[in-house]
Structure 1
């Protein structure tokens, strides 16, 4: 792993990137200075062996996270039939008795978090049909599609071991630049002739590819997931419409373009699609279901939503007015409720920082799997109080918000935001990002390792500058990569 500081600079690269979807390149710093989010010229180069190490780490971490999700579910009383006997709104969970309650997840969401986690597992769910005491019996197993996610990893090349910093399981962005922009950059600059050239099969894994050399075709994440969903929900048409929703208050356009890219891949996979705003998601009282309302006040034009991808945090969604209705709709025993991608378990079980101490608890002593982890504990624990060098992170936080780095008892970086206002934090052993020489000073890269349908799919690299860059924030740069470049 090396940083090449003086790579080729393409003529008209900003316009090229813009035409490919990077419409949010210009980033304004707090002092009003404008910088380029995409770094043209520098790039990171890896050996094939290093890529294999990152790919193996990604696959192992994903398997560990699935086991950690199982553990978290079992800490909720509602994971058993007995825990749900008193009905949907019964109070059976508390911070003392339930892990989900401990980390601040409203109890009314727990049953659907657990159901979507186990969806597709016949042995887990079919017996609920036969329980006469259930007020709302479950039907045969449903299916809750999950398309993508991203691990953020510390890595410093050959001789080092990738370390998990966090898992953005529900709403990862930087997808356009990872899947599309850096791929075209590599084709245009031609700095490597290695057969792999770049670790990047994100696009192909989303849409699939045709059979070659007698090998079976890969149908891609969209087709695999929708096919499984149609097996569970037989009334869906062969090509059901998928809505894609984003939050319009995000001013840079990054959310819109990431959602638009995912929508384009679903359309290329063969499905009808529509891009909508989060504010256009409504509730049909008479039909008791989720609908798309194209114009304010025109509920007469509303369309039912069977499937929707939402780039919006579940931890915001379930605190908002109307959240109970959406979760009750998910629990419709006829299974005609709206299917949400990503499902709520992606935020509740995998995509918050509470999974880090759970992973350490389960695998910290495992020499093969624990090597990819950093010691992590809930901030109120005695183990946390004994640490002198650590990263303190809010359980519910994004883009480095409210992350504090402490080295030998001295704070070296902090980023105060509204995240962590609920007082829920974890601490993770300090592992400062690697340092490389950049044109303006020392830069610190973090590896974004992508998963598509649970499989390692590629990499994007973000880097920050100087001490401020030790925590990856929204203003950090994106830098492309190659495998065994000639330069």
Structure 2
């Protein structure tokens, strides 16, 4: 694994916009100046052996995560996740039904010299999907046509919709995002997911989550045409849903109205998962030691809010690395994870976003930052695998 420079395509901006990458604010470089969010002036190069190794790690981590959900449901450890008590039965029922899931993204630390380490699992509302599935593939095909890429995302998403289609309450899927997202990233991600479902032969409708209605007489969700919404694909976190007025309807109307990602994913998108995994698999090579609510045996650690996003409210406690980021998270409690800084390449630190679709590893996206925390100033950079 190493980082290389290459000349951006002359009309790269027009090309990535034509592929749907139209949202966003610029990323930041090491001086704090603006840097393109999609930055093809650099990329990472991997050997196929490295990719096969990480791919195996990802599928193992995914199976460990599913075991962790089973463990939490059986032992009713929802309190460790800060989940309201009224939601607990809904999670258990969603898991026992095996409500279908589509995709997720593992954020990993990897430097090319040892096993990938799990930093967190974006299991409910992962973004940077279009960049990973489409934009970097077209970049590779045009700039490095003889090379390969860890990227079967598009094909596997279409295949996954086909697999779960008959387990959904209807062949019509409503894809929804929040208009409160100022960047437009959620809308772009949802539109791309909608495109993959349509390619799988499903009927799709897009609308903002703020436009979803509730029919109190028939006790069902309805769209702008007053038509029933039986399957809703959301890019809106479950912890926000259950906090909203319509949250009880969403939980209590399951499985008549099915939500994707499913309710049981509340247990995977919460950083309490990191501590549960460490309890279940102490010393596992793909895990970092992690503890709930206190650092335990750790003297150097990262304190993460259970439900934090975009690197907010992170505290790093380690000599010469002391860092604190601002934000609005933390009331829900914290998880303490051993500090293992991201590797540094030319002054930048890459976090590997390894995608899972269904239960299979599906691709890689890389976001890099000049700082220790991968935040909303990180740039997305492509990767390639040269022929051996």
The bucket for the TM-score relative to the shorter chain is over 0.9
> For 1:51-70, what aligned pairs fall within 5 Å after superposition?
51-70=51-70
> For 1:49-448, what aligned pairs fall within 5 Å after superposition?
49-76=49-76, 99-120=77-98, 144-157=99-112, 159-190=113-144, 193-194=146-147, 197-207=148-158, 220-229=159-168, 236=170, 240-292=171-223, 294=224, 301-330=225-254, 337-347=256-266, 349-365=267-283, 370-380=284-294, 384-408=295-319, 412-422=322-332, 424-437=333-346, 442-448=347-353
CA distance in 1, matches of 2:180, 2:211: 13
SS at match of 1:187: helix
CA distance in 2, matches of 1:184, 1:483: 14
CA distance in 2, matches of 1:103, 1:242: 30
Unpaired runs of at least 5, structure 2: none
Normalising by structure 1, what TM-score?
0.77
CA distance in 2, matches of 1:339, 1:329: 8
CA distance in 2, matches of 1:203, 1:359: 29
CA gap of 1:75–1:151, structure 2 versus 1, over 3 A, is same
CA contact (8 A) 1:26 1:35 kept: no
SS at match of 1:372: coil
CA gap of 1:451–1:470, structure 2 versus 1, over 3 A, is same
State the 1:101 CA deviation: 2.4
C-alpha RMSD over aligned residues: 1.8
Q: For the pair shown, which has the larger CA radius of gyration, 1 or 2?
A: 1
Query: How many pairs align?
Result: 387
State the 1:351 CA deviation: 1.0
Unpaired runs of at least 5, structure 1: 77-98, 121-143, 208-219, 295-300
CA gap of 1:411–1:4, structure 2 versus 1, over 3 A, is closer
What residue in structure 1 maps to residue 381 of structure 2?
A: 479
Deviations 1:47-73 (A, max 9, x none): 010001110100110111111111111
CA distance in 2, matches of 1:12, 1:102: 50
CA contact (8 A) 2:27 2:37 kept: no
SS at match of 1:436: coil
User: Is the counterpart of residue 43 in structure 1 residue 21 in structure 2?
Assistant: no
SS at match of 2:8: coil
User: Is the counterpart of residue 463 in structure 1 residue 368 in structure 2?
Assistant: yes
CA contact (8 A) 2:176 2:208 kept: yes
CA distance in 2, matches of 1:170, 1:41: 31
Identify which of structures 1 and 2 has the higher relative contact order when contacts are C-alpha pairs closer than 8 Å and 6+ apart.
Answer: 2
State the 1:29 CA deviation: 6.3
SS at match of 1:252: coil
Which consecutive aligned stretches of 4+ in structure 1 deviate over 3 angstroms post-superposition?
28-34
State the 1:281 CA deviation: 1.1
CA contact (8 A) 1:463 1:472 kept: yes
